[in-house]
Structure 1
Amino acid sequence: MSLLNAKTATLVIVDFQSRLMPAIHDGTRMVENAKRLVDAAKLLAVPVLMTEQNPAGLGGTVPELADAGPVITKMSFDSCAEPAFLEALAGDGELVLCGCEAHVCVGQTVLSLLEHKRRVVVVQDAIGSRAPESKEVALRRMERHGAEIVTTEMVVFEWLRTAAHPQFRPVSKLIR
């Protein structure tokens, strides 16, 4: 596999919803890292796609991320079961995923995207579950099936590639 490329990537934000986040282990840190990814994506012209699982029950996306990009509403845990989700991700670019829960909606979506022969990159410090062990098992499973596991900083600096990038200063400030 090659380095991540801002020109071919899409950032996918899965179910960062207001009624769910208080129950997620280390949820505040997750949201902070997802916000870093969104802000970097905006500075580097990386498209962002978001999902919301049953928003009538789980609420909308948390305010920190609410304006990040278009939202696909779904009832299936696997985002790929929603035709609009796959249509929005048409093409063969790499998909950088963050969200929750790692062992349910993120995990099922990742496994389905891999079945669709997509390059899937999961941001370990921007996904979560209620129980830490559920997240760990989900990460191992996704990796076994072909997902790449990375961190927020890895994504941001691979998207930049060089300190000579015109957006280096504003993007690198997101990490500090």
Structure 2
Amino acid sequence: MEKNARLIDAGDSLLVVIDVQDKFLVRLEKEDADRVVSRCRWLMQVADWLSVPLCVTAEEIPVMGATTEPLRDCMTGGAVEHDKMVFGLAGQAGILAAVEAAGRRTVVLTGLETDVCVSQSALGLLERGYRVAAVADACASPQQGHDFGLQRMRDAGVIVISAKGLFFEWVRDVERCHDFFRNSGIGVPEDLYIG
């Protein structure tokens, strides 16, 4: 596999799914909600196949509910859902400890909402020396919040990438890509063209 420090390496990545809960999803346009759930679900499956560890958060679970069911079904490999009581996950000791325990230096963020919990998590992780990437099409916020959040993160030095781009950086070469499609049993979301 080509070594390139600018590419996101699966062997150094931790995938974090932030607050994809039904009470947040209903605030979005249906198309955006469906896109976030399908992209997050797919990336969770890809991460599992590539042995990329997973961290899942849900905000104030007793009030806002657990992570949406289609994503809970993908929590394999001992992944647990953390009850997040701060907007930026790096500000909660137990979640930060889980990030640190993964032993990875690149944190890939997905989830809700782009301009609040995703952005604040990204900034807090950058402050602690992590390389941070945000998957733009696996995040969302109501109205213009998504664009504002992406710009805030870009300005701070977060890598903004698509789910498709991340997949190809993680697999890195044609043979591994073929291996994934032949042997993983994981499909691709209908609206995510990978050719």
Both proteins in one fold, TM over 0.5? yes
- Residue equivalent to 2:71: 65
Question: 1:64 is paired with a residue of what secondary structure?
Answer: helix
- Residue equivalent to 2:173: 162
Higher mean C-alpha deviation, range 43-52 or range 21-30: 21-30
Give percent identity, aligned residues only: 30
Distance 2:61 2:51 in 1: 28
Distance 1:164 1:173 in 2: 17
Question: 1:3 is paired with a residue of what secondary structure?
Answer: coil
Letter in 1 for 2:90: C
- 2:20 is equivalent to residue 16 of structure 1: yes
- Residue equivalent to 1:46: 52
Question: How far is the alpha carbon of 1:92 from its aligned partner?
Answer: 4.7
1:21-100 maps to which residues of 2 (within 5 A)?
21-25=25-29, 26-67=32-73, 68=75, 69-90=79-100, 91-100=103-112
1:128-143 maps to which residues of 2 (within 5 A)?
128-131=140-143, 133-143=144-154
Q: Would the aligned equivalents of 2:18 and 2:58 in 1 still touch at CA under 8 Å?
A: yes
CA gap 1:19/1:94 in 2 versus in 1, 3 angstroms: same
Distance 1:19 1:92 in 2: 31
Letter in 2 for 1:164: E
Question: 2:168 is paired with a residue of what secondary structure?
Answer: helix
- Residue equivalent to 1:150: 161
Q: Output one character per residue of 1:92-137: Cα deviation in whole Å (capped at 9) or x when no partner.
A: 5201100101111111111111111110000000000122x11101
Gaps of 5+ in 1: none
Q: Would the aligned equivalents of 1:40 and 1:171 in 2 still touch at CA under 8 Å?
A: no
Structure 1 segments of 4 or more deviating over 6 A?
A: none
Letter in 2 for 1:51: T
Q: Would the aligned equivalents of 1:78 and 1:108 in 2 still touch at CA under 8 Å?
A: yes
TM-score with structure 2 length normalisation?
Answer: 0.84
Residue correspondences, number: 175
- Residue equivalent to 2:137: 125
The two structures, once aligned, show a CA RMSD in angstroms of 1.7
Question: 1:124 is paired with a residue of what secondary structure?
Answer: strand
TM-score with structure 1 length normalisation?
Answer: 0.93
Q: Would the aligned equivalents of 2:18 and 2:112 in 1 still touch at CA under 8 Å?
A: yes
Distance 2:11 2:117 in 1: 26
